[in-house]
Amino acid sequence: MANLELLEKLCNASGVSGNDDEVKDIIINEIRNYCDRLYIDRVGNLIGLKKGRKVSKNRIMICAHTDEVGLMITGILKDGTLTFEAVGGIDCRVLSAKRVMIGKIPGIICSKPIHCKTAEERKIPVPTKNLVIDIGTESRKETQELVKIGDTATFRSEFIRLGENKIKAKALDDRLGCYIMCNILKKDLEYDTYFAFTQCEEVGCRGAVSAAMSIKPDIGIVLETTTAADIYGVSGDRTVCEQNGGAVVSIIDGSTIYDRTLYKVAVECAKKNNIKIQTKKYVSGGNDARSLQRTAGGAKVTAISLPCRYLHTPSCVGDMRDAEQMEKLCFKLIQEYGDLDI
């Protein structure tokens, strides 16, 4: 497997939407020497330009988002515990008894012991508003010294290998996209390309709007993760896509109908270069492509995604064989899309 150290660092970094400097710092460190221009825009997108051998008449922008779903502290109770809200879409069932990190302070999401739950309570999930984080303090005053309302918290989840090819981590959505962009940036490219590490995708694909406005791309490639529900007992279109089935090239999702020309070119390019790809079998989800496609004068867009199990939980599972296919396809498409006459 490729340079997993970087991916591990990226996944373990804390970067809840609106508070992701730690992630950006890792990326800046990694790519600083490979960019011809590198800047952080006014809303916090990290944007790099890498010159290629040629300038294409199609301005190409690749993007992946740096933020992740997480928690935001909303209050401090008398006993020192913290109330919180989810930032982005988190199923309340994945929260009970999980370990979190509020900046540098470790905490635990409390879970009422099964012994104290009634038979009825054992059948329904505890809603987010009834959960609290315990950091070991005993009074509001004590907690106030350490945590402020508005602080963000991320899951603490070990980055581990599952079997030969898979990895499990938090925030694969979308540190995996950031990781692939870093890898591509380090290569020699055919055409000038913009790389945007965008903000706040999880709360409405917001950063990509400003990034698109300033770059004004003709063609956008979004590197993302998408739901793979290829678990035992699920079949047909309900699986959405399958792990080790290759990079997912989208035709349509919940918020974007992708450009047909770009799609065809991507399929042919994959065929020519022996790259494994698949399409989504189920219309769901959405990503930064919707912002790129419909900002300023608009752009043609493609999304290349990793089939990822258990998105938006502390335990996302991805297959690195698919990630390799994504990287290869994206790299080749810079040339193919640059050559296009549109």
So which residues are the catalytic ones?
201
x/- binding map, residues 279-318, to other proteins, per CB under 8 A? ---x-x------------------------xxx-xxx-x-
With respect to other proteins, which residue has the nearer C-beta, 248 or 269? 248
What does residue 16 show for φ and ψ, rounded to 5 degrees? -65, 145
What DSSP character marks residue 127?
P
Structure tokens at 331: 């790299």
* Residue 267 one-letter amino acid: V
**Residue 241 near residue 307, CB atoms below 8 Å:** yes
Structure tokens at 239: 């699986």
- Total residues at the site for other proteins (CB under 8 A)? 69
Q: Does 41 bind other proteins (CB under 8 A)?
A: no
Of 7-36, which residues contact other proteins (CB under 8 A)?
none
**Residue 208 near residue 65, CB atoms below 8 Å:** yes
Q: How far is the CB of 72 from other proteins (least distance, A)?
A: 18
Q: Does 123 bind other proteins (CB under 8 A)?
A: yes
**Residue 265 near residue 330, CB atoms below 8 Å:** no
Measured at the alpha carbon of residue 250, what is the angle toward residues 183 and 38, in degrees to the nearest 5?
Answer: 35
* 168, containing H or E segment: strand 166-169
Near other proteins by CB under 8 A, which window of 6-14, 33-41, 93-101, 255-263? 93-101
Strands 82-87 and 132-134: antiparallel
Burial of residue 172 (CB within 10 Å: 0-12, 13-18, 19+) is buried
Residue among 58, 96, 214, 255 that touches other proteins (CB under 8 A): 96
Measured at the alpha carbon of residue 304, what is the angle toward residues 299 and 310, in degrees to the nearest 5?
Answer: 125
Residue among 5, 33, 104, 113 that touches other proteins (CB under 8 A): 113
CA distance 113 to 116: 5
Near other proteins by CB under 8 A, which window of 11-19, 91-99, 262-270, 289-297? 91-99
Q: How far is the CB of 1 from other proteins (least distance, A)?
A: 13
CA distance 96 to 10: 25
Q: How far is the CB of 250 from other proteins (least distance, A)?
A: 16
x/- binding map, residues 168-207, to other proteins, per CB under 8 A? x---------------------------------------
**Residue 223 near residue 330, CB atoms below 8 Å:** yes
Residue among 18, 88, 107, 307 that touches other proteins (CB under 8 A): 107
Q: How far is the CB of 12 from other proteins (least distance, A)?
A: 13
Q: Does 98 bind other proteins (CB under 8 A)?
A: yes
Q: Does 252 bind other proteins (CB under 8 A)?
A: no
Q: How far is the CB of 235 from other proteins (least distance, A)?
A: 11
Measured at the alpha carbon of residue 157, what is the angle toward residues 75 and 206, in degrees to the nearest 5?
Answer: 60
* Residue 97 one-letter amino acid: A
Q: Does 117 bind other proteins (CB under 8 A)?
A: yes
| Residues in touch with other proteins (CB under 8 A) | 77, 79, 81, 89, 91-94, 96-99, 105-117, 122-127, 130, 132, 134-138, 142, 146, 156-158, 160-166, 168, 227, 229-234, 238, 240, 282, 284, 309-311, 313-315, 317
